[in-house]
């Protein structure tokens, strides 16, 4: 059967696949467009399954907001090249907009939501077939603030949402920018996990004891280092990035505001990336030759 250019064009528009793949699918299904679409979807799922175990630690962070609510999403791929691909960017944008406007409370639930007649999971598998890399929707979180709600994106890799009590949108954006740059663990020392503080205290104690100073001096040294540590890891204790002469706490106080919460995503954080040692690879191949 003769497969026309119009048929190939229509299949490409519906699947996003390459011309040769579309022509092959139409040939195998005798020109049946619907059967070709189904076959290509199954093929995309098979390719997705094969790539599912490959480490995806690159990608994008996307933020969507309607003013009173916001959502932040992280979607991963294998290389920064694909992370900048228009198809990948469109998918991350679609995921963020759906996450903002649905009640899905998990990634699994989000992927069952439908956009343009397809679930996000179907779109994900088709994207994998198109870009040739593993693609994973890793996480998303929403935020609603009683006061100002701000957000900031540093390129595609870091995104921050901030909620304020009091203040305004500009202050919220400034605080979000600070969080992107300074990566605080929490808002104030009351939120610092006990185990984290105990671990640092033990390290400081061991370091101080090596000095040979009296116990009462050692305790003062430890407390001084703990205060410095809390200033480094808590949002309100950090020097404000746009004006290091004042802390974030002082800035907030001058504006009659406080931070109700923040969310910071950075692409690939916590994902163990595969490192390649090409010298060792060459040596291994040489030994096996």
pLDDT tens readout for residues 45-75:
444 445 556 778 899 999 999 988 999 999 9
Nearest to 76 by CA among 236, 252, 270, 213: 270
Q: Is 21 left (phi over 0), alpha (psi -120 to 50) or beta?
A: alpha
- Which tokens go with 70? 């916001």
Looking at residue 142, the DSSP 8-state letter turns out to be: E
CB count within 10 Å of CB 78 equals 22
Tokens 């404000």, located at residue:
240
Query: Rounded to whole angstroms, how far apart are CA atoms 142 and 161?
Result: 9
Nearest to 173 by CA among 140, 138, 145: 145
Model pLDDT, residue 46:
42
Residue 83 CB contacts under 8 Å (≥ 6 apart), including other chains: 58, 59, 60, 77, 156, 267
- Please state whether beta strands 258-266 and 243-247 pair in parallel, antiparallel, or not at all (unpaired): unpaired
Q: 5-51 belongs to which homologous superfamily?
A: Ubiquitin-associated (UBA) domain (1.10.8.10)
Which pTM was predicted? Answer: 0.74
Model pLDDT, residue 287:
55
5, 75, 125, 134 from 82: Cα distances, Å: 29, 11, 15, 10
Model pLDDT, residue 51:
55
User: What are the residue ranges in the chain where pLDDT is below 70?
Assistant: 1, 15-18, 40-53, 273-289
Model pLDDT, residue 44:
59
Model pLDDT, residue 67:
83
- Which tokens go with 121? 């999971």
Nearest to 18 by CA among 87, 75, 77, 84: 87
Domain residue ranges in the chain: 5-51, 52-144
CATH topology of domain 52-144: Tetrahydropterin Synthase; Chain A (3.30.479)
Would you call 126 helix, strand, or coil by DSSP?
helix
Query: Rounded to whole angstroms, how far apart are CA atoms 185 and 261?
Result: 12
Give the bridge partners for 62, in sequence order: 73
Nearest to 236 by CA among 223, 254, 212, 218: 254
Q: CA 249, 266, 54: angle at the middle one, nearest 5?
A: 160
Query: Rounded to whole angstroms, how far apart are CA atoms 121 and 125?
Result: 6
């Amino acid at each position: 059967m003769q497969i026309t250019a119009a048929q190939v064009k229509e299949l490409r528009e519906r699947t996003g696949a390459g011309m040769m793949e579309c022509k092959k699918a139409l040939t195998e299904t005798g020109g049946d467009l619907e059967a070709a679409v189904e076959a290509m979807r199954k093929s995309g799922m098979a390719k997705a399954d094969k790539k599912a175990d490959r480490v995806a630690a690159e990608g994008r962070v996307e933020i969507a907001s309607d003013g009173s609510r916001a959502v932040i999403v992280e979607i991963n791929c294998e290389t920064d090249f694909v992370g900048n691909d228009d198809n990948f960017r469109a998918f991350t944008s679609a995921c963020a907009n759906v996450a903002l406007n649905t009640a899905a409370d998990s990634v699994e639930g989000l992927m069952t939501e439908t956009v343009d007649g397809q679930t996000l999971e179907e779109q994900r598998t088709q994207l994998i077939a198109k870009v040739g890399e593993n693609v994973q929707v890793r996480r998303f979180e929403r935020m609603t603030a009683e006061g100002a709600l701000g957000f900031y994106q540093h390129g595609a890799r870091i995104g921050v949402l901030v909620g304020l009590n009091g203040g305004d949108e500009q202050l919220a954006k400034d605080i979000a920018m600070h969080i992107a740059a300074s990566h605080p663990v929490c808002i104030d020392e009351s939120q610092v996990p006990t185990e984290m503080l105990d671990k640092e205290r033990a390290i400081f104690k061991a370091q101080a004891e090596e000095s040979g100073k009296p116990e009462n001096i050692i305790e003062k040294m430890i407390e001084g280092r703990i205060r410095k540590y809390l200033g480094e890891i808590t949002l309100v204790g950090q020097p404000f990035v746009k004006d290091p002469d004042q802390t974030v706490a002082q800035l907030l106080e001058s504006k009659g505001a406080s931070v109700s919460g923040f969310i910071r995503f950075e692409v690939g954080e916590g994902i163990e990336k595969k490192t390649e040692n090409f010298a060792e690879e060459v040596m291994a191949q040489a030994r096996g030759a």
